[in-house]
Amino acid sequence: AIRMTQSPSSLSASTGDRVTITCRASQDIVNYLAWFQQKPGKAPKLLISGTSTLQSGVPSRFSGSGSGTDFTLSISSLQSEDFATYYCQQYYNYPPTFGQGTKVEIK
Amino acid sequence: EVQLLESGGGLVHPGKSLRLSCDVSGFTFSDYAMNWVRQAPGKGLEWVSGISGSGGTTHYVDSVKGRFTISRDNSRNTLYLQMDSLRAEDTAIYYCAKSSPVGIYCDYWGHGTLVTVSS
């Protein structure tokens, strides 16, 4: 199975900060990479697919980039509703695998 | 509006069985692959199993192969997960999730049902 490694595992930031989360795949996954947001007690929510395609309704402050094995999720100006845990997921092949998550906390 | 509603979770002894169900609405069920994804308490997400729209193709993560069976009833708009020989490490919230039309990632998720395996 392809291993997905996110960094950092957690970070503290303030409202208005720019935040970047990195995801590395153990092999080339081209651009078959999705990002999810999960808040406590809630189901994950799809933010981005195909490395950089924002889902309908997702604010434009979220963006994704990368290719091959290295990917990033950026939040240009952190808002209060963005404090959550973020997961990357490869869907290049079965089994689709997730990173371990990055918890974004309030500084 | 897409809706997915899981049921069937609960407390079960190790070695026993449980069947989860997921009732869906808001889209043409038979047109889409479906998945089960789980999350152990305080842990990350793990994809468990997937099934094609027709039900003819299934996939499993290695840790559940031979113990779990995914199926669907397209006439009832319902997805199932039969879980046999349950282990403590299967304890998790189990989410039913719809596959996107263009890749094996999940674009809609249910709220989840908790399965606890304990003696």
Q: In Å, how far are A9, B31, B58, B80, B119 from B97, measured between CA atoms?
A: 25, 14, 15, 12, 29
Above 90 in pLDDT, residue A17?
yes
| Residue A11 main-chain phi, psi, to 5 deg | -150, 150
Asked if omega into A95 is within 30° of 0 (cis), the reply is yes
In chain A, what residues touch B107 (CB-CB under 8 Å)? 46, 49, 55
Above 90 in pLDDT, residue B110?
yes
Above 90 in pLDDT, residue A107?
no
CA distance A80 to chain B (A): 22
The whole-angstrom separation of Cα B103 and Cα A34 is 10
Q: How many pairs of residues across A and B have Cβ atoms under 8 Å apart? A: 59
List, for residues B6-22, the tens digit of each pLDDT value. 999 999 999 999 999 99
List, for residues B26-35, the tens digit of each pLDDT value. 999 999 999 9
- Residues in B whose CB is inside 8 Å of some CB of A read 37, 44-47, 50, 59-62, 95, 100, 102-112
Which chain B residue has the Cα nearest residue A47? B107
Q: What share of chain A is helix, strand, coil (3-state, %, to 5)?
A: 5, 50, 50
Q: What is the pLDDT of residue A106?
A: 87
Which residues numbered 24-63 in A keep a CB inside 8 Å of some CB on B? Answer: 32, 34, 36, 38, 42-46, 49-50, 55
List, for residues B20-79, the tens digit of each pLDDT value. 999 999 999 999 999 999 999 999 999 999 999 999 999 999 999 999 999 999 999 999
Answer whether B109 sits within 8 Å of A45, measured CB to CB: yes
Which chain A residue has the Cα nearest residue B100? A49
Above 90 in pLDDT, residue A101?
yes
Three-state DSSP state, B74: coil
| Residue A25 main-chain phi, psi, to 5 deg | -95, 150
